[in-house]
Amino acid sequence: MSVSTASSLAEALEEVFRETIEVMFGLPLEGPEPAESHQEISVSGIVGLAGPAFRAQLLISCSRAAACTLTATLVGDEELLEKDPSLITDGLAELANMVGGGLKRRIDASGVDLELSLPSVLEGSGRLQGAGGSMELSLSWRIQGAVMETVLLYSTGG
């Protein structure tokens, strides 16, 4: 995979996200489609990828209800979420970490060495924008009817 082409990054992001949701979480996934602005998006898991020739921020955004669905699947017990609501943000951070790690492995295989940051979670609506020269790859998905978006803000070169 070459990190210099948007199509190869889009293909890698699609494969990694699909694999993570369908295989690791065992949930059906619809999409991807071009991303649109959705009012129900209220929480985002974020992870950074960086190396000498590639820098990116990966955001996985959804509604709080979708984050609950994903986390309940991950921890295997919905009652735990009622006892400890912080597990919901932890679950979305872990999803960002899983997808970011899968993307890192695919990019590393092309000879570009990357480091992965610790994941973060942003609660509330907002739009992260890259600095000058950044490119954006956005895809929209549906998981059990809920909208999710994956956004990769990236720049290539030295």
Domains and CATH numbers, the chain: 6-43+60-128+135-156 (3.40.1550.10)
Mean pLDDT of 70-96: 82
Gap between the Cα atoms of 64 and 41, Å rounded? 8
Structure token digits, residue 67: 């984050």
CA 149: distance to chain centroid?
8
Task: Tell which residue, 48, 80, 81, 76, has the closest CA to residue 64.
Answer: 81
pLDDT-based confidence at residue 21 (cuts at 50, 70, 90): very high
Position 157 scores a pLDDT of 73
Q: What is the pLDDT of residue 59?
A: 94
pLDDT top residue among 76 and 149: 149
Amino acid 67: pLDDT: 86
Specify whether the CB–CB gap between 16 and 141 falls below 8 A.
no
The pLDDT of residue 152 is 93
40: amino acid identity, one letter: E
Q: What pLDDT, on the 0 to 100 scale, is given for residue 2?
A: 52
